[in-house]
Structure 1
Amino acid sequence: MRRSNGRWTGLRAIFGARSRCISPASARAGGFVVKVAPRSSARFVAAPPAEAAVVLIFGPDRGQVAELAQTLVRTVADDPTDPFRVADLALSALQDDPALLGDEARSMSLTGGRRAVRVRGAADALTKQVSAYLDDPSPDAVIVLEGGELQARSSLRKLAESHARAAAIACYPDEGASLTQLVTETLAAHGVRIAPDALRYVGQQLGSDRQASRNTLEKLALYAGDGGQVSLEDAEQAVGDIGESNLDALAQAVATGQSGEAQRLVQRLFADGTNPVQVLRGLVRHFGRIAEARAHVDAGMEAEAAVGNLRPPVFYRAKPGMVAAARGWTTPRLQTALDRLLRAEIDCKTTGMPAELMCARAVLALSAAAPRQRARR
Structure 2
Amino acid sequence: MAQKKAGEVEAFLSRPDTSFPVVLLYGPDPGLVSERAGTVARLSGADLADPFSTVTLNADELERDIGRLFDEARTLSLFGGRRLIRVRGAGNGKNLADAVADLAADPPPGATIVIEAGDLKKTAALRQQVERGRAAMALPCYQDEARALDKMIDEELSAANLTIDRHAREALRERLGANRLASRGEVQKLCLYALGKGQITEDDVETIVGDVSADTVDETIDAAASGEVKKLPELIERLLASGTATFQLHSALLRHFQGLQIMRSEVEEGGATVASAVERRRPHFRRKPAFEAALGAWTGEAIARTLQRIEADILLSRRESALAVTIMRRTLTDISVEAARLRTRGRR
Residue pair 1:186, 1:217 contacting (<8 A) in 2 also: yes
Q: Does 1:225 align with 2:186?
A: no
After TM superposition, give the deviation of residue 84 of structure 1 in Å: 0.6
Q: Which residue of 1 aligns with 2:134?
A: 164
> Counterpart of 1:93 in 2: which secondary structure?
helix
Deviations 1:298-326 (A, max 9, x none): xxxxxxxxxxxxxxxxxxxxxxxxxxxxx
Structure 2 unaligned spans of 5+: 218-232, 254-292, 299-331, 338-348
Which residue among 230, 237, 243 is the counterpart of 2:213? 243
After TM superposition, what 4+ stretches of structure 1 lie above 4 angstroms from structure 2?
A: 244-247, 261-274
Q: Which residue of 1 aligns with 2:311?
A: none
Q: Does 1:41 align with 2:5?
A: no
> Counterpart of 1:110 in 2: which secondary structure?
coil
Tell me which amino acid in the other structure corresponds to 1:105. Answer: A
Instruction: Return closer, same or farther for 1:177/1:45 CA change in 2, 3 Å cut-off.
Output: closer
Tell me which amino acid in the other structure corresponds to 1:99. Answer: G
1 CA distance for matches of 2:80 and 2:60?
A: 29
2 CA distance for matches of 1:211 and 1:268?
A: 18
Which residue among 160, 165, 169 is the counterpart of 1:190? 160
2 CA distance for matches of 1:83 and 1:127?
A: 26
Q: Which residue of 1 aligns with 2:341?
A: none
Q: Superposed, which structure 2 residues align to 1:278-297 within 5 Å?
A: none
Residue pair 1:213, 1:242 contacting (<8 A) in 2 also: no
Q: RMSD of the TM alignment (CA)?
A: 3.9
Deviations 1:94-125 (A, max 9, x none): 22223221221110100221111111112232
Q: Which residue of 1 aligns with 2:39?
A: 71
Which structure has the higher relative contact order (CA within 8 Å, separation 6+)? 2
> Counterpart of 1:36 in 2: which secondary structure?
coil
Residue pair 2:62, 2:69 contacting (<8 A) in 1 also: yes
Tell me which amino acid in the other structure corresponds to 1:134. Answer: A
Q: Does 1:210 align with 2:185?
A: no
Instruction: Return closer, same or farther for 1:164/1:91 CA change in 2, 3 Å cut-off.
Output: same
Q: Does 1:115 align with 2:68?
A: no
Deviations 1:181-238 (A, max 9, x none): 2222222221111101111111111132111111111111111104621111111112
Structure 1 unaligned spans of 5+: 1-32, 248-253, 275-348, 362-377
After TM superposition, give the deviation of residue 55 of structure 1 in Å: 0.3
Q: Does 1:90 align with 2:58?
A: yes
Q: Which residue of 1 aligns with 2:147?
A: 177
2 CA distance for matches of 1:234 and 1:159?
A: 47
Instruction: Return closer, same or farther for 1:165/1:245 CA change in 2, 3 Å cut-off.
Output: farther
- Number of residue pairs the alignment of both structures matches: 251
Tell me which amino acid in the other structure corresponds to 1:112. Answer: G
TM-score, with length taken from structure 1: 0.57
Residue pair 2:105, 2:133 contacting (<8 A) in 1 also: no
Instruction: Return closer, same or farther for 1:267/1:51 CA change in 2, 3 Å cut-off.
Output: closer
TM-score, with length taken from structure 2: 0.61
